Amino acid sequence: MSPESSSHERGTPSPSSARRAAAEYRGRTASRVPPTRRGPVRIADESDPYRKGMLVMARAAQRAERAWLEEALRELDPPPTP
């Protein structure tokens, strides 16, 4: 085997194939969600750790964005002084 051989030829997955496999996994798990579960989901009701983590991250991002926006708006339009 020459030094120019790809990692795929040596049996090690390439980074692109690892990303593709991860995307396929996410697609398969998303398709397993019954249609009745589509829509808002409570974090406490989620059993899959990956999905639960995504919900926790989304909630944290929403809160941080709202806090930043409220602060930015207060700075743009300070309350009138009496």
> How do residues 19-70 score in pLDDT, each as one tens digit?
887 777 776 666 565 556 567 778 898 888 998 999 999 999 999 999 999 9
Q: Is residue 2, in this structure, part of any structural domain at all?
A: no
> How do residues 9-32 score in pLDDT, each as one tens digit?
566 667 677 788 777 777 666 656
pTM: 0.46
Structural domain count of the chain: 1
The string of DSSP codes covering 25-73 is HHHHHHHTS-GGG-S---GGG---HHHHHHHHHHHHHHHHHHHHHHHHH
Q: Is residue 60, in this structure, part of any structural domain at all?
A: yes
Instruction: Quote the domain boundaries for residue 34.
Output: 15-76
Q: Is residue 51, in this structure, part of any structural domain at all?
A: yes
Residues 6+ apart with CB under 8 A from 57: none
Copy the structure tokens of residue 30.
Answer: 């998303």
Among 30, 33, 55, CA closest to 42: 55
